[in-house]
Amino acid sequence: MDQLLVALDVDNRDRALQLADQLRDVAGGFKIGSRLFTSEGPALVSALVERGDHVFLDLKYHDIPTVVAQAVLAAARLGAWMLTVHAAGGRSMLEAAADAARRTDHTPLIVGVTVLTSLDSTDLAAVGVRRELPAQVEALAELATTAGLDGIVASPREVTRLRKKLGSEPLIVAPGIRDGAGAESSASGGDDQARTLSAGEALAAGASYLVVGRPIISAQDPPEAARAIVRGLEKTASKS
């Protein structure tokens, strides 16, 4: 299913490529985050791209506009399909990222991270954010989309509210999806996600893409775990 993006949150190239080979027929793409990118670097992105995979490069760029623009150009040269920047980097940074993407032959989708799914209102207050969490997500989402980004990243719990505010066009990427093994991990205290929903709930709320990691890659049978999520999503889609 194109909307399912599997997070390859593992330590090494061999395991990442093994999972990609197992899941390619089920997933719409693969997310490479800071952990795997730090371990294996750009070569792994290129390896997946060469296999025809959509690579969601989730490095959350947050720096001065020129540096972020150059990072976007570098990601585009690797063939990244979609990448993240921090919406809190400000309008100039976001506009520089969007402009850089438009200047490439391979134009990656750029989505702005609003508020990390591990944070709650207490965490925001501790870093000086006085808005309530939903209002902060909305403000950053509006900033990102008006600055020219293709969409935003937000917890599934904010998707319904964001769709009402932003309309149907911007992409909304929802991490923090917890089905099956992931839900059990969260309940037992082994998970740092604070604002989660099931895949079906997130899709019904209006998410464009769902990022699922642990419930799939930690399962005894990752392909079957992914297929089970897809079956649930298909049921949700048929009811809408």
Q: What is the CATH number of domain 4-234?
A: 3.20.20.70
List 31, 60, 164, 239, catalytic entry: 60
The model's confidence at residue 182, banded by pLDDT at 50, 70 and 90, is very low
Q: What is the predicted pLDDT for the residue at 44?
A: 98
SS3 28: coil
pTM of the model: 0.91
* Of residues 136 and 180, more confidently modeled: 136
Q: Name the residue with tokens 């585009």.
A: 76
pLDDT at position 239 is 73
Q: State residue 183's pLDDT score.
A: 43
Cβ contact 219:225 at 8 Å: yes
Which 3 state secondary structure label does DSSP give 115? coil
**What pLDDT sits at residue 196?**
67
Listed residue (177, 239, 231, 226) closest to 28, CA to CA: 226
Burial class (CB in 10 A: 0-12, 13-18, 19+), 76: buried
Helix axis angle, 159-166 relative to 133-146, nearest 10°? 40
Q: Between 59 and 185, where is the model more confident?
A: 59
- Output the six-digit token pair for 51: 């296999």
Instruction: Return the structure tokens found at 38.
Output: 């730090």
* Mean pLDDT in residue range 18-23: 98
Q: Is the CB of residue 65 less than 8 Å from the CB of residue 83?
A: no
pLDDT at 194: 56
- Give the SS3 label for residue 199: helix
61 strand-pairing partners: 85
Domain positions in the chain: 4-234
* Among the ranges given (39-53, 94-108, 181-195, 207-221), the one the predictor scored with the smallest mean pLDDT: 181-195
Is the pLDDT at 111 greater than 80? The verdict is yes
Decide: helix, strand or coil at residue 111: strand
Question: 10 Å Cβ neighbour count for 105?
Answer: 6
Mean pLDDT across the chain: 92
For the ranges 53-57, 88-92, 187-191, 227-231, which has the lowest average pLDDT?
187-191
Quick one: pLDDT band at residue 193, thresholds 50, 70, 90? low
* 164 part of the active site: no
